[in-house]
Amino acid sequence: MKVTCDRQELLTAFQTAASVVPSRSPKPILQNIKLEVSESGAILLATDLEIGIRIQVAGIQVDVPGSAILPLARFGSILRESSDDTLRLEADGQSTLVRGERSEFKLPSENPQEFPSVADFTEKSYHELPARALKEMIRRTIFATDNESSRYALGGVLLEMGSDKITAVGTDGRRLAKMEVPARSEGGHQSGDSMTIVPTKAMQLIDRALSDGDAEIQIAARANEVLVRSPRVTIYSRLVEGRFPKWRDVFPQRTGSSKVDLTVGPLYSAVRQAAIVTSEESRGVDFSFEPGTLVLSGRVAEVGQSRVELPIAHDGPTIAIMLDPRYLNDFLKVLDAEKIVTIELKDAESAAVCTTDDGYGYVIMPLARER
């Protein structure tokens, strides 16, 4: 293999692929990244056998096709530290030679044929949606997942794919985030009764690897794996095994509740202020929705107390509820400051249900007050 490459283009792709490489593995070759070069271009491959990625690399001039195993730390350091705009790579299966204008590195290399294959996207049945919508869906649900759960499969985001939309759900049992986006089904692709739970790590990789400028993204779910393809990147992941809770039961159709519209920016600021006097042992903040005013108050004996008032458009009865401010802030910080959020409340023991006008819903369970 002999190629001349644009160093910055290769570095950007290499860093994305590096996020898949395991820090420890019984198969040492997995702690490298494979470069495959053909007449049509170059692809970087990385996998930990649970998640895999294929990235097309721009700015590659191919002299001799072939492949090379690139050691993660050493080759990554060369790409970062070099001041050359272009680098020349030569590999013969035993070593890789990296040449700059005034530098040269020779790195030992493993046999490229021993590197496991990484699945490519060959599906005829899939869902298609804009990259921006997929990234927004991930950011609005991923924070609510729980990798420690043993009762349910909460260590990932549930994707329910219907005829014209995708619904993503993340929960840790104390709060639940749901995002619904329009998506086109190609070839009759739907998730049906099967549970497509994509691991949190894979969702983070998809968010990182895609850019808002990417065109349409394809998602295909199989029995125990999912494939995501953009014009530049293909990502493969095994699904989380197990059952996801019946999340629709968390969004009750209830009567006698009050709805209050709030602007994200001022509410986010007020919650952060009220949370200043909370502690690890006592995280709760009292939210008192009174006519015309929301009063947020925190009290911890050894820390102090806070009281923050926020004018609101509420003319109903006073409703008080204690919430963990971290959970509310996680929801608010993924929204634009000008966004309007509707909070539906019933009483101190019932969940607070937050919704926006673009398919986003969030449920927070209340904290019990000390008696």
259 and 226 together in one domain: no
The lowest-confidence range among 103-107, 280-284, 350-354 is: 280-284
Query: 151: pLDDT confidence band, cut at 50, 70 and 90?
Result: confident
Residue 1 confidence (pLDDT) above 90: yes
CA–CA separation, 276 and 305 (whole Å): 9
238 and 133 together in one domain: yes
For the residues of 157-175, what is the DSSP string, one character each?
EEEEE-SSEEEEEEE-SSE
The label of the residue with tokens 């971290």 reads 326
Percent of all residues in the chain with a pLDDT value above 70, rounded to a whole number: 98
pLDDT average, residue stretch 23-47: 94
- CA 131, 135, 140, 144 torsion-angle sign: positive
Residue 300 lies in a domain: yes
Residue 23 lies in a domain: yes
CA–CA separation, 185 and 128 (whole Å): 6
Domain boundary residue, one of 49, 84, 114: 114
CA–CA separation, 343 and 99 (whole Å): 60
Digit-coded pLDDT (tens) for 302-331: 889 999 999 999 998 999 999 999 999 999
CA–CA separation, 179 and 159 (whole Å): 10
133 and 233 together in one domain: yes
Residue 206 lies in a domain: yes
260 and 187 together in one domain: no
Residue 371 lies in a domain: no
- In this structure, what DSSP letter does residue 359 have? S
The lowest-confidence range among 248-262, 263-277, 322-336 is: 248-262
53 and 149 together in one domain: no
Count of the separate structural domains present in the chain: 3
Query: 214: pLDDT confidence band, cut at 50, 70 and 90?
Result: low
220 and 132 together in one domain: yes
Which residue range forms the structural domain that includes residue 300? 254-364
Mean residue pLDDT across the chain? 93
Digit-coded pLDDT (tens) for 43-92: 999 999 999 999 999 999 999 999 999 999 999 999 999 999 999 999 99
- Token digits of residue 58: 């721009």
CA–CA separation, 313 and 232 (whole Å): 47
Domain boundary residue, one of 202, 222, 247: 247
pLDDT average, residue stretch 1-22: 96
Digit-coded pLDDT (tens) for 85-138: 999 999 998 899 999 999 999 999 999 999 999 999 999 999 999 999 999 999
The label of the residue with tokens 């869906």 reads 137
CATH number of the domain bearing residue 187: 3.10.150.10
pLDDT for res 215 = 82
pLDDT for res 301 = 82
Full-model pTM = 0.92
- In this structure, what DSSP letter does residue 210 have? -
160 and 240 together in one domain: yes
pLDDT for res 252 = 67
Residue 120 lies in a domain: no
Domain boundary residue, one of 217, 247, 277: 247
Residue 370 lies in a domain: no
186 and 238 together in one domain: yes
Residue 254 confidence (pLDDT) above 70: no
CA–CA separation, 286 and 369 (whole Å): 9
140 and 95 together in one domain: no
- In this structure, what DSSP letter does residue 102 have? S
262 and 335 together in one domain: yes
Residue 369 lies in a domain: no
170 and 264 together in one domain: no
- Please, are residues 325 and 275 in contact by the beta-carbon 8 Å criterion? yes
Cα–Cα separations (whole angstroms), residue 168 to 219, 363, 369: 13, 14, 32
- Token digits of residue 62: 């191919």
pLDDT for res 371 = 42
131 and 86 together in one domain: no
